[in-house]
Amino acid sequence: MVGTDVDKAVDCLNEGLLVAIPTETVYGLAANAFDANAVTGIYKAKNRPQFNPLIIHTNSIERLLNWGLQLPEKMLLLAKHFSPGPITFVIPKSDTIPDIVTAGTHAVAVRIPDHPLTLELLAKIDYPLAAPSANPSGFVSPTNAWHVHEQMGDKVAYILNGGVSRVGVESTIISFLNDTPKLLRYGGISIEQIRSVIGEVEDIPAHSGEQILTDNPVAPGQLARHYATKHQLIHGDPKKYFQYFASDRIAIIAFSSIYAEIPARLQKVLSPERNLDAAAQQLFAVMREIDTWDIDVILAEKFPDEGLGRAINDRLKRASLKD
Ligand code: AMP
Ligand code: MG
């Protein structure tokens, strides 16, 4: 069920079954992207709305060309710098890609993940893998094999165990459908890094106060409420909310601070050294752990809006939204 046998994972995928795969971002729920039945299984297992398209994964740019995809020059430039890595490119689709993968749209999202076991697996198959995060739709993404086993263990034929995900948040998604490349999701590669390679990039619109996110994921790529914990999560300055809850019923997710008003055992500091990459790697595992505690609310700080801090704030903001 859980193991490190790449050939077993290949056999399962060849049979049209679902396999959980490790990546540097989060664990994926993978199926043969060219097998529409197998891909349907992903939507079912996750209870994912059929209008939310999937990212396809492979191990080289050359293979994308072989599958009839046209690759924009700026995408190639970014791929040269950051692939394999936590960046996903949205480009015009080719006929080889089944409509179910792209939720009927004319664009496909492609990524080369950076994990040795999964790269080995991808080299052994002659199709790309459609793979969203290996969690039920709307919940926190898994960053180790055990997270997958807990939530999706009965839905997959095999879980390939590649240890703890190094980046810990999903890939950055960038669209090449218009003249100016456009960011669709903050993730493991920062907008600063992207701009240093290709110059102008359209940012995700900044939101002041309540964030307004689309419910049509095909437009800017994302569902609003996502990454949800069972407990209510509030994203903002924790101190502002202390007065509303008993101090021993509050859990805190902080960057580096400790709050004297709250018992230390109820506080998770993501990076005492204030390293945003280290904080991102911890985020989802900490959200999962806190969610098992006997508390009333999770108060999560707002992180610096730079580098991976943007991805952290994005995930916390989405976790805080109501259904
Ligand atoms: P997940 O793999 O669960 O992180 O979700 C994949 C994300 O990629 C979703 O938010 C999708 O909306 C986005 N995505 C996948 N394919 C496309 C596409 N063709 N166009 C725009 N966004 C996409
Ligand atoms: Mg997901």
Query: What are the structural domains, with CATH classification, of the chain?
Result: 2-198 (3.90.870.10), 232-320 (3.40.50.11030)
The three-class DSSP label of residue 89 is strand
Angle at which helix 191-198 crosses helix 73-82, to 10 degrees, equals 120
- CA contacts within 13 A on the Cβ side of 23: 34
- pLDDT tens-digit readout, 122-174: 999 999 999 999 999 989 999 999 999 999 999 999 999 999 999 999 999 99
Closest ligand 1 atom number to CA of residue 93: 19
Q: What are 148's two structure tokens?
A: 């997958």
Tell me which ligand sits closest to the C-alpha of residue 173: 1
Please report the pLDDT score of residue 69 as a whole number: 98
Q: What percent of the chain has pLDDT over 90?
A: 91
- pLDDT tens-digit readout, 71-88: 999 999 999 999 999 999
Closest Cα to atom 14 of ligand 1:
53
113 lines ligand 1 (CB under 6 A): no
207 vs 199, which has greater pLDDT?
199
Which residues lie below 8 Å from residue 40, measured CB to CB, with a gap of 6+? 100
Predicted confidence band at 207 (pLDDT cuts at 50, 70, 90)?
low
d(CA 204, ligand 1 centre) in Å: 15
- pLDDT tens-digit readout, 246-292: 999 999 999 999 999 999 999 999 999 999 999 999 999 999 999 99
